[in-house]
C-alpha cells in the first residue's frame, strides 16, 4: 500500500481542543506527521484497530499544511458509526 492510499483519520490537536470539540471517550495519541498529541475518538480507534497499517492519524494543522503545499486529499464520507458518534456528541453538547 502506498502512502497516498492510506486512510487519514483527521484529528483535533489536544492543544487546540475544547470540551465541545472532543467526542466522549476519546483518547490521546500522536499525529503521524508532527507527533503532536491529538484526540482519537472511539470509532476512529476501531478503524485503526481493524486496519493498523493502512491508517494514519493527522492533526488539522498538518492537513492544512499539506493542502497548502499541493497535497491531494480525497475526503471519504463518515462511516455510519462515525456519523452516529458525531450526532450523539452534538446531541450531548
Residue 6 has what DSSP assignment? Answer: S
First to last CA, the chain: 39
Nearer to Zn ion, 47 or 57 (CB): 57
Residue 86's CB: how many other CB atoms inside 10 A? 14
Position 34 contacts Zn ion (CB under 5 A): yes
Q: Where are the alpha helices (DSSP H) in 1-93?
A: 42-50, 60-68, 80-92
- Is 12 a binding residue for Zn ion by CB under 5 A? The answer is no
Could you give the CA distance from residue 48 to residue 18 in angstroms, rounded to a whole number? 24
Does 9 interact with Zn ion (rule: CB under 5 A)?
no
Say which DSSP state 25 is in: T
User: Residue 81 CB, nearest distance to Zn ion (Å)?
Assistant: 24
Q: Does 33 bind Zn ion (CB under 5 A)?
A: yes
Site string for Zn ion, 53-82 (x = CB under 5 A): ------x--x--------------------
Nearest distance in Å: CB 65, Zn ion: 8
- Least Å distance between CB 86 and Zn ion? 21
Amino acid at each position: 500500500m502506498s502512502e497516498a492510499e492510506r486512510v487519514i483519520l483527521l484529528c483535533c490537536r489536544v492543544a487546540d481542543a475544547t470540551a465541545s470539540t472532543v467526542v466522549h471517550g476519546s483518547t490521546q495519541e500522536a499525529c503521524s506527521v508532527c507527533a503532536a498529541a491529538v484526540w482519537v475518538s472511539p470509532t476512529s480507534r476501531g478503524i485503526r484497530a481493524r486496519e493498523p497499517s493502512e491508517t494514519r492519524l493527522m492533526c488539522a494543522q498538518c492537513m492544512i499544511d499539506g493542502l497548502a503545499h499541493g497535497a491531494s486529499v480525497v475526503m471519504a464520507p463518515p462511516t455510519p458509526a462515525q456519523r452516529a458518534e458525531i450526532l450523539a456528541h452534538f446531541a450531548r453538547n
